[in-house]
Structure 1
Amino acid sequence: MIRHELVARQLEERIAAHFEVGRRLRVLDAGLGDGARALRLVRWGHQVTGLEPDPGRLAAVRSALESEPEGIRERFRTLAGSGQDTGAHFLPGTFDVVLCHDVLDQARDPDSTLAGLARVLDTGGLLSLVIPNVEARAMRPGLAGDWQTARAALVADTAERDRFLRLEALTAFLARIGVPLESWYGVGVFGADGTHGDAAAGEAGSGTGEADAATGAAAGEAALDVEERAGRTDPYRAVAPSLHLFGVRG
């Protein structure tokens, strides 16, 4: 999906900016999911530990790893658990990079989870967070003409969890736990986030033959290019459905 590629490119950019070329980093992925994100980092040469609370997903990742080369398997460790369990598994300063993508908003106690993730970062380490943009929830339904949902998002009382996830609140909290915000991006500004954007790319290449396939690929690359540029540009990034935040351990 375009969304996954955007996040990966943003992460790659920040890693390149913070660490010397060729350095093998110690990475924690707190929320492994299907393992694709972690596997990509392993293939870049890094040592990755993945935490995943869902037994089915964890078993699927481990099964898929069996078909990978030995060098990949040696650099990819999986554990049952979530971002809330870092204190039970790891010492302070264990990792150079910590990922928490699309899981912080689901945590029972997001502030303590985030503090725990910061604790296991080494000095100069990079924290990568992908969260829903709670301040722009009316944008997608509004653009789709779903006025009832858009209005509900605009007038709804802000829950405590949503207040924590706001960019201003997270910026203040990251500073308090010693991982101040260094940079941030929007993800999927124009809807190329696995739904609208990918569908548009598919429609562009919905015919048959090599020419149509090339047209579809070109449309996908164009969407990715526009999304990537908009995701780092004001005011567009502020209305993206997701935000990608980077903090650096002081």
Structure 2
Amino acid sequence: MARQLDEQIAARFPVGQRLRVLDVGMGQGTQALRLARAGHQVTGVEQDSRMIAAAREALCGEPEGIRERVRLVQGDGQDTGVHFLPGSFDVVLCHGVLMYVEEPDALLAGLARMLAPGGLLSLLVRNGDALAMRPGLSGDWTAALGAFDTLSYTNRLGLDVRADRLEALTATLAGIGAPLHAWYGVRVFTDTAADDAEPPADVETLLAAEERAGKTDPYRGVAALLHLCGVRG
């Protein structure tokens, strides 16, 4: 995921340019801190106060120069117009958020407005075209059959959430002025691994296989997650 994002940033912007990044639903700030360490100015938006606290704690452990490049805002991402002016950011991240939003089109339109011309919108969503894969590979045939005709599912936290189809998001991105530029599959081979599983000894080989599959048809189409990159016209 991080490699894919870096690949798109490198393709869109001059080497060494310090970008203005908005990370909506930043969680504990993993991506925000990584991009700040790379020299970018990052604004993180997160609704969960516990996540904000964790991000602040992680930020406190960083050198002053990095701390100065990060701003944290508590919010749900649907009020970006209240906090920021249109066109204020070169890159907008929205990773692992849409599955919690009942009607995501308004959120996506608001995020697109935050982008400067040529800016990059990076989305990470649950793949609605592959919801049967996880239960099927786990041997839960009843759940696999039920997953073919729905975009709803229960995630690993036990929450009832929703998935998105590539075709529908492609149309949405075109409609909001940030048409799809590239897309990847994420967790093609590793979706059934336990969250707390120890990484294998040959983890670099695993990552290479995942990265290759995430760019290659037909494998990327059955990935658990989709990483979509739209570019503001």
TM-score (norm 2): 0.91
Among residues 223, 230, 241, which one is paired with 2:224 in the alignment? 241
* Bigger helix fraction: 1
CA contact (8 A) 1:93 1:120 kept: yes
Give the drift of 1:60: 1.8
SS in 2 for 1:28: strand
* Aligned match of 1:226: 209
Gaps of 5+ in 2: 153-160
Distance 1:52 1:184, change over 3 A: same
SS in 2 for 1:226: helix
Per-residue CA deviation, residues 61-80 of structure 1 (Å, 9 max, x unaligned), is: 11221221110110010000
Distance in 1, Cα, partners of 2:60 & 2:207: 32
CA contact (8 A) 1:127 1:248 kept: yes
- 1:23 corresponds to 2:17: yes
Give the drift of 1:233: 0.3
Give the drift of 1:9: 0.4
* Aligned match of 1:183: 182
* Aligned match of 1:195: 193
Structure number, greater radius of gyration: 1
* Aligned match of 1:116: 110
CA contact (8 A) 1:186 1:241 kept: yes
- 1:39 corresponds to 2:22: no
Among residues 55, 61, 75, which one is paired with 2:55 in the alignment? 61
SS in 1 for 2:78: helix
Distance in 2, Cα, partners of 1:200 & 1:64: 23
* Bigger strand fraction: 2
* Aligned match of 1:166: 165
Distance in 2, Cα, partners of 1:76 & 1:11: 19
* Aligned match of 1:206: none
Identity over aligned residues, as a percent? 61
Distance 1:22 1:142, change over 3 A: same
CA contact (8 A) 1:198 1:220 kept: no
Distance in 1, Cα, partners of 2:209 & 2:194: 14
Distance in 1, Cα, partners of 2:186 & 2:150: 25
Q: Which amino acid aligns with 2:7?
A: E
Per-residue CA deviation, residues 70-114 of structure 1 (Å, 9 max, x unaligned), is: 101100100001221111111110000000000012124311000
Among residues 91, 99, 102, which one is paired with 2:85 in the alignment? 91
Distance in 1, Cα, partners of 2:225 & 2:50: 26
- Runs of 4 or more, structure 1, over 4 Å off, are none
SS in 2 for 1:29: strand
Distance 1:197 1:64, change over 3 A: closer
TM-score (norm 1): 0.85
Per-residue CA deviation, residues 109-168 of structure 1 (Å, 9 max, x unaligned), is: 3110000000000000000000000110111211121111111112x4456x958x2111
Among residues 76, 79, 84, which one is paired with 2:73 in the alignment? 79
Gaps of 5+ in 1: 1-6, 203-215
Residues matched between the structures, number? 225
Give the drift of 1:194: 8.2
Distance in 2, Cα, partners of 1:195 & 1:113: 31
Distance in 2, Cα, partners of 1:231 & 1:158: 21
